[in-house]
Amino acid sequence: MSNKNDSEAPLIRIRRRDTAAVAGLGSMVLVLFWMFGELGLLETVVAITTIAALSTFYYLTVRTALNPLPDPASHRGQDSGASGSSANAQLMLESLPIPVLLVGSGGRIEIANPAAREFLGLGPVTGHLSSVLRQPQVLEAVSAALRGHAVEPVEYSMMAPVESHVRAFVAPVAAPEDPALPWRAMLVLSDETSIKRADRMRADFLANASHELRTPLASLAGFIETLRGHAKDDPDARDRFLAIMFDQTERMQRLINDLLSLSRVEMDEHVPPSGTADMAAIIDDVVDVLRPQIAEKSIRLEVNAEPAVAVGERDQLLEVVMNLVENAIKYSESGSTVTLQLCTGLTRDQAERPGLVLGDAASRLTLAGPSSEAGDRFLAVRVRDAGKGIERGNLPRLSERFYRVDGQKSGPKEGTGLGLAIVKHIVNRHRGGFTVESLPGTGSVFSVFLPVARHVSKASELPGG
Ligand code: ADP
């Protein structure tokens, strides 16, 4: 207090001196006028009042300039520079998307930014950290920081209400103004759930891919061993084993092709296609390629396709239709019917609505939704089979890599579990949608819808249409 008064004293003296000088000068001029009889009584009163008012105004102006009013936003109102920077720091803290907390005496939360409030579910009154974060390692780190010790980051995981993985950074912050507790603890919580999930997915993918390859490889090694041993001189066994070995190598080939295809599609998923693809021609090509399998299972194939051109890459869209029709054949009983429909000029609502309806009891799921910038007209390719169908609980996992429904028989060629994942990624790249509808015992409908190429959005505009 005494310091402040000492520093202010000379300023006050200057102010008084200047005010006295202004008032004195004004009064001298007044006296001169009065002596020469230039002023009447009324003019004298007006002049004195004016000089007094001017002097007071000068005094107040100088005082305000030297000692501005305290900033109402500042807590202490002593130093405008300090309060300004603390307000900026406060603003920065508030807008940080990462949870940041300042913990004080006894582990009480002194400051929590909005991200921290949301992350920890804090109410308007913040209590002790231990009541909202029951992580002994983090609490230990905080109490070490409150004693001024530097601490290593701490990782913790929670499985409920949702799985989350967090890395907590704790640091001591000096608070010299409080001799009783000279340290606070700053706690920054970094949510690493998505990084952990991506790591796990990568590890799972590698484990799955090597497992899928290891099985046929192990069987190949076993048969080679047998052929070199007791089956060496048995032509019947040799032919049988060679046929199985051929199937296994084919399976490995399929797996590697699908893996390469998936990684290619994933690599350019963020680059939208710029070309156009004649979907009716693609359907014709797919039917031609699959004719041997259709004949082998005596499938009755019904194709109902109107001319339609999509914005997209022909090879990728051919892979989409191929995977869906191949699945319909694979997962159908011999002699059953597979229906293929292509229609165009649909609004997004129409495209999303089931076209080849299975009935009210069927379950329906969107495996990929069209993006908002996809345009306003769509074409839809729908593939319906009369196979075993898929239970509702299995629908969400269908487009996961390597997922195969238990007990689902696909004939002699075992599937890779990658086909629908490839379809989903290609559809995503094409800003389209992908839905599945299924009713166990009745069959399934897989539908893909894609933005229509604008210059041929009406069937009549197609060459020969
Ligand atoms: P796969 O190579 O195993 O066919 P997909 O990714 O194409 O791999 O399909 C994943 C799983 O979804 C299949 O293993 C099968 O269990 C199920 N599935 C796919 N299409 C059909 C269908 N039309 N009918 C019944 N189940 C299907």
What are the pLDDT digits (tens) for 28-73?
666 666 666 666 666 666 666 656 665 565 555 445 444 443 343 4
pLDDT band of residue 383 (cuts 50, 70, 90) is very high
3-state secondary structure of 462: coil
Rounded distance between C-alpha atoms, residue 335 and residue 324, angstroms: 18
Separation in Å, CA 280 to CA 237, 309, 317: 47, 8, 11
Cα–ligand 1 centroid distance for 195 (angstroms) = 29
Rounded distance between C-alpha atoms, residue 250 and residue 111, angstroms: 63
To the nearest whole percent, how much of the chain has pLDDT over 70? 78
Mean pLDDT of the chain: 83
Pick the CATH number of 202-267 from 2.40.50.140, 3.40.30.10, 1.10.260.40, 1.10.287.130: 1.10.287.130
* Lining residues, ligand 1, CB within 6 Å: 323, 327-328, 331, 385, 387, 390, 398, 403-405, 408, 410, 415-421, 444
CA dihedral (221, 223, 225, 227) positive or negative: negative
pLDDT of residue 4: 42
Instruction: Name the fold adopted by 276-461.
Output: Heat Shock Protein 90 (3.30.565)
Rounded distance between C-alpha atoms, residue 127 and residue 122, angstroms: 9
Rounded distance between C-alpha atoms, residue 333 and residue 178, angstroms: 80
pLDDT greater than 70 at residue 195: yes
Q: Which of these ranges, 77-81, 83-87, 142-146, 443-447, has the smallest mean pLDDT?
A: 77-81
Q: Residue 301 belongs to what H/E stretch?
A: strand 300-305
What is the position in ligand 1's atom list of the atom closest to the CA of 405? 16
Tokens of 140: 């230990």
Specify the residue with its C-alpha closest to ligand 1, atom 4: 415
3-state secondary structure of 136: helix
Specify the residue with its C-alpha closest to ligand 1, atom 8: 417
Cα–ligand 1 centroid distance for 328 (angstroms) = 8
Cα–ligand 1 centroid distance for 278 (angstroms) = 26
The string of pLDDT tens digits covering residues 302-349 is 999 999 999 999 999 999 999 999 999 999 999 999 999 999 999 988
Residue 174, strand partner residues:
183
pLDDT of residue 76: 41
Class of domain 97-191: alpha beta
Provide the residue type at 200 as one letter: R
Separation in Å, CA 257 to CA 205, 251, 405, 409: 16, 10, 21, 21
Q: Tell the residue number behind the tokens 């505009």, with chain if given.
A: 461
Mutate-to-test residue for ligand 1 from 252, 327, 384, 397, highest number of ligand atoms within 8 A of CB = 327
What is the greatest pairwise CA distance in the chain? 150
Domain boundaries, the chain: 2-66, 97-191, 202-267, 276-461
**What's the pTM?**
0.64
3-state secondary structure of 137: helix
Residues 158 and 164: beta-carbon distance below 8 Å:
yes
pLDDT of residue 197: 85
